[in-house]
Every structure is written in structure tokens, then in C-alpha cells.
Chain A
Amino acid sequence: MTTIEPEITEREAAQKLTEPLIFERSKAGRRGYQLPALDVPEQSDVLPQSLMRGEIAEEVEVSEVDVIRHFTRLSKLNFSIDQGLYPLGSCTMKHNPRINEEIARTWGFAQSHPFQAEHQVQGNLELLWTLEQTLKEIFGMPRVTLQPVAGAHGELTGILMVHKALAKSGNARKYILIPDSAHGTNPASAAFAGYQIKELKSNNRGTVDLAVLEAAVDEDVAALMITVPNTLGLFESDIRKMADILHAKGAYLYCDGANLNSYVGVARPGDMGIDVIHSNLHKTFSTPHGGGGPGAGPVGVSDKLAPFVPTPTVEKREDGTFYLDFNHPDSIGRMRAFHGNFNVLVRALTYMRSMGPTGLRRIAQLAVLNANYIRARLRKHYHLPYDGPSLHEVVFSDKLQAPKDVHTLDIAKRLMDYGFHPPTIYFPLIVSGALMIEPTESEPKEELDAFCDAMIAIARECEERPELVRSAPHTTPVRRLDEARAARQPVLRWRRSV
């Protein structure tokens, strides 16, 4: 067990971040390319004068080596999953296998165009069809749409299908029930679809209380949106009974499948009575994640909701060829141009195929094992607010450190000095000072041990040298950022300084 001393002074750390903006690197006349002399007559009347600009747009003037060095230096200031453990709870920052990239770059996939004729893109259609069949098997559900391009987009798609199904039966209803342990996107998606939100309070085990649910469900409730396992990493063991309570009143059960990686290949949402689920392919199925995307959030539905899936669907003819089927009169319509983020779908199917059913089940088992290993090693050092058996992530709090006036944010910042990305902090909201750790199955035991050693060393520092933790990070290119000012007065574009 080691302690990392803040030997690097603030000034030295600041000097490490010397990379200017690319605009500031610009030198008039510098070029990164050479064009041959113009050997055709210059045309000045190609566009009407009204469309011509009066001055040349100000673009960056840099050489190729300037560009390469600039972005390489920036990339070294960044932290990524390729560099080390990235235990961001609820985000499932797992390794992105390179075979996915290899297949996605296959010429036929990478160069095809969505307007090509069906007979020219049979391979692409077959891929979409096969991915739907695979997800149907994983979900245990009869229909899956691949259009949504993010988890929250999948949530909206799912709730719009619920809305359409209810509206068609005469009453679209008013409310969506959401537990207080939910992902923040759930209430946002439900509100976007036109519903009002009613929050369900978790019981003292951190799961949904059946009595509370039963009392809340009536003919005005459209659905319960629930995350399984929930944001505390706890499996909702009453899920089947919840489905029965909802179905008895004609309401639907929506499952946020962001945490599917904890039971993929082990249990199927369809068997739990779930009517609609989205899965983030960029979480459970290893497609790249972060930097804002692109993602994919396919949605699986039960028989009752199958008529409402977005169009077009990909179907297989008896002769083995594939086609786009627009003939779904009850469809909620398109949720995205073309077929979603197609190249993300290629990566996800590659992953499913390279893992196989046994491999996928093993992923869930290892993800749960790794989280529980961290839980067992750290439980003496950090407070566990909910002590039920947890799955793929574990939530601690800063309760043991708070008396020394060291808080979750400080612990997270200090972890950076030890070379780890901090976990998700201050979420879920039902835990004060939450530290939400999800290691994923990618990590070997040595990496988990190094992380736990760092966390234990920090717990000791909180006791012995709290100021060291409160003033962290000490070794990063920049120290504490002024998050409040960044949110209050964001500077979102470069301007020439005058």
C-alpha cells in the first residue's frame, strides 16, 4: 500500500498544461497541404453574387505536424478506458474490443449508403435482422426496434409506444410512476412524452415497496419506469409481482436496461413480466462510449406493444432475402432517420457473436463478481448505506470521512492522483455523499486491487492528513476546476482576443 505525495507543486502542474488552442497555433500562410496549380479557367459566376461571401472565412492555418502534435498532446491530457480503470457507476465503461472496430470498418458496411437499393445492401439488412433476432433472444421478447440512438432516446420510444397502445384502447392516462432511485433520464423522458411524474419512495432496503406501488397504481397510471437492478446495484426481487400489480390495472412495466450487463445471459426481462425495455449497446455490448456518442438504445417490447414499433422494420422473405417493411399501421412512426447508428449496431453484433451465449453470461457473472470484490475489500473503510447483496455496482458514502470535513468530492479528486478515473459521485440521490463504483468485467484482479489499495490509502489520509485530500488533485494538469463558474458563465466558443 502506498501513499502518493503531492511532490509536484501547483505551479509545476500548471506548467504541464501548456498546450494552446489550435486557433492560437495558427500562423498566417501556413499550410498542411499543397495543391497543384489551377489548370482550368477560373469561373467567377458559378454562384449568384448574393451567395458569395465578401471575405474569406477565418480558418486555422497550421501545418500537418502542428495538427498531429496538438491533438496528440491533448489526448495525453485526457483519461480513457484504454489507459486505466474507469469505474463510473451506472455508465459501464468497459473495454471496447478491437475486433468490433475491425468489422465495422469492413468496406461493405463502412461505405454503404442508406439510399442504396435493397438488393445492393442485403448484407446490411441481414445484419439488422440478425441483431434484432439476437436481442429478442437476450430480452425474451417478440420484437425489438434498433432505431433509438441513445438510452434516453430508447426510453422516449418505449413510452411513446405505451402511450399509443393506451390511447388506442381509449385512455392514454396521465401518470408515470418512477422510484426515487431511478436514472435522471427516466422522469425527463416520461415528461417529454407528455406524462406527469409521480415519485415512489424506496423502502429501507433501497428497493420498490410493493405496498407503496399497489397504493399508487390506478386507472390514471400509464406505466412504472424502473431500473433493474436499480442505481444502488440492487436487484428488484419483487419485479414479477410489480408486473402483476400494474397489469391488473391495465398499466405497463417499463424497464431501464442500462444495467442489463449484470444479468445478460442469466435472466430475461420478458420472463420478469417486463413489457418494454431499452438496452444501451454502448454499455452492455461494448460499443465505444463517451464524448457524447454515438450510442444505440434498442427497445424490446412484449406482444401487446409489438404493433407500435417504429417503421420501417427489417423482415425476411421466404426465399431468404431481406426487405424494409413500412406496413405497420399502428406504428408510432420513425424515431430516427434511416436505421439508427448503423455502425454502432455492427460493433454490438460483432461483440455478441464473438462472446456467444456462454460468453455473455460470463460477462454478467464477472461484472457482479468484480463489484462485490470491491465491496468486500472497501466495506471496512467506507460506509455502505444499503447492505443488501448487490450486483454489478456498489454504492458507498462519505459518512465515515465527513467528521474530518473530507467529503465525496475530495475523495474523488484524490483518486486522480492515484491514476484512476473517479467513480460517479453524488448519485443516486437517495444516498447522501454517494460514491457509485462500477468496475465492469473488463478489469483483472490486479487492477481491482490497485484501485482498492488507493481507496484504502485515501481513507487513511482522510484520518491522518485530511488537508492533503481536501486540496487534491495534486498531480493532474489542472487542479480543481471552478465548476460553478463553468455552469454560470460558460465560454462555449473561441473568440479572437482584441
Chain B
Amino acid sequence: MSSSIPEDNRYAKSHEYAHAEGDVAMVGITEYAQKELGDVVMVELPAVGTQIDANEEMGTIESVKAVSDLFAPVSGEVIEINEALTEKPDLVNTDPYGDGWLVKIRMSDPSELDELMGADEYDEYIEAESAK
């Protein structure tokens, strides 16, 4: 399973990832999360310019199974949202770590990344989650 978890991301317990480049984090949901959700039919994201705190609700994602909240893994300003998801929400299913990203956040405190999990730790975490 660990092969599908990119090493260069940080992971939240609520199954969002943050991919940092400089002080900007690209945020999405993980492969495990998209598989659990099933086919995504709609994604609601915050407006560009929104100031958001880590662990704060930043939107919702609706699949054929359920509507789930999305949480910001890091604090900062939303500088870009993935407009392509309006027309093609299934990108979240087909390419969660790439074209299916959700928002880009300019981090106000990049040290928050250290509080998130690394790939190995996240792998163990979802093993434990699925065993529940």
C-alpha cells in the first residue's frame, strides 16, 4: 500500500495531504480517502483569498455515498482553487495527488507541516483505520 503514498507529501488524520513548494502548499485528499468515498460528484471549496486555520473546515466533498467535510491541513491564505473540479469532480478519484488537487494555501506557518504525518506514518495510520 505504501507504494501509492507519495513520500514528498505530509498527511493529516482527516486524510488530506499537503504538498509544499516554498511557502505554498497544494492540498488534496489522499488515494485512500478517494477510495473510501467512492465516485465524487461535487466539491465545494473556499473562495480565493479566504484566511483559513489548520484543522478548520474548508469545504465539502460529495460522493455517491455521502457528503464529507474537508479540513485545512495548514493555516494560511487560499491563493488558488482547482476550477477544473467544477466540470470534472471525478479528477479527485482518478488523480488525487495530481490533477485532482483541491486548493493551494500560502502558509502562514510552514512549521505546521511538521505536525502532519509522513508517508510511512500515514501508511500505518490507514492500516489501523481499516482494521477498526
Residue ranges of A at the interface with B (Cβ–Cβ < 8 Å) = 402, 409, 426-427, 429, 432, 483-484, 487-488
Chain A CB count within 10 A is highest, among B36, B40, B42, B64, for: B64
Q: Is the CB of A484 within 8 A of B66?
A: no
- A426-B66, A432-B36 as given contacts; A484 in contact with B90, CB under 8 Å: yes
**Min distance, Cβ B59 to any Cβ of chain A, angstroms:** 16
Q: Is the CB of A488 within 8 A of B66?
A: no
B13 part of interface (Cβ distance < 8 Å): no
The contact size tier of chain B is 10 to 19
| Complex interface bits, B56-78 against A, C-beta within 8 A gives 1, otherwise 0 | 00000010111000000000000
The residue on B at minimum CB distance from A199 is B69
B41 part of interface (Cβ distance < 8 Å): yes
Chain A residues contacting B66 (CB-CB under 8 Å) are: 426-427, 429
- A484-B90, A488-B89 as given contacts; A426 in contact with B65, CB under 8 Å: yes
Complex Cα gap A207–B58 (Å): 28
B53 part of interface (Cβ distance < 8 Å): no
Complex Cα gap A349–B39 (Å): 43
Chain A residues contacting B130 (CB-CB under 8 Å) are: 402, 432
Q: Is the CB of A487 within 8 A of B36?
A: no
Chain A residues contacting B90 (CB-CB under 8 Å) are: 484, 488
Subset of 24 A-B contacts with CB under 8 Å: A402-B130, A409-B38, A426-B65, A426-B66, A427-B66, A429-B66, A432-B36, A432-B130, A432-B132, A483-B39, A483-B64, A484-B39, A484-B40, A484-B41, A484-B64, A484-B90, A487-B41, A487-B42, A487-B62, A487-B64, A488-B41, A488-B42, A488-B89, A488-B90
Chain A residues contacting B132 (CB-CB under 8 Å) are: 432
Majority-rule SS of B interface residues = loop
| Complex interface bits, B85-123 against A, C-beta within 8 A gives 1, otherwise 0 | 000011000000000000000000000000000000000
Complex Cα gap A427–B38 (Å): 14
**Min distance, Cβ A25 to any Cβ of chain B, angstroms:** 32
Apart from A483-B39, A488-B42, 16 more pairs, CB < 8 Å = A409-B38, A426-B65, A427-B66, A432-B36, A432-B132, A483-B64, A484-B39, A484-B40, A484-B64, A484-B90, A487-B41, A487-B62, A487-B64, A488-B41, A488-B89, A488-B90
| Complex interface bits, B27-40 against A, C-beta within 8 A gives 1, otherwise 0 | 00000000010111
Complex Cα gap A137–B49 (Å): 56
Chain A residues contacting B42 (CB-CB under 8 Å) are: 487-488
Chain B residues contacting A429 (CB-CB under 8 Å) are: 66
**Min distance, Cβ B82 to any Cβ of chain A, angstroms:** 16
The residue on B at minimum CB distance from A429 is B66
Which 10 A-B residue pairs are closest in the complex by CB-CB distance?
A484-B39, A487-B41, A426-B65, A483-B64, A488-B41, A484-B41, A484-B64, A429-B66, A426-B66, A487-B64
Chain A residues contacting B40 (CB-CB under 8 Å) are: 484
Chain B residues contacting A484 (CB-CB under 8 Å) are: 39-41, 64, 90
**Min distance, Cβ A399 to any Cβ of chain B, angstroms:** 9
Chain A residues contacting B41 (CB-CB under 8 Å) are: 484, 487-488
**Min distance, Cβ A429 to any Cβ of chain B, angstroms:** 6
Chain A residues contacting B89 (CB-CB under 8 Å) are: 488
Complex Cα gap A426–B53 (Å): 30
Complex Cα gap A160–B67 (Å): 26
The residue on A at minimum CB distance from B87 is A488
**Min distance, Cβ A361 to any Cβ of chain B, angstroms:** 36
Complex Cα gap A483–B39 (Å): 8
| Complex interface bits, B10-49 against A, C-beta within 8 A gives 1, otherwise 0 | 0000000000000000000000000010111110000000
Complex Cα gap A488–B42 (Å): 8
The residue on B at minimum CB distance from A483 is B64
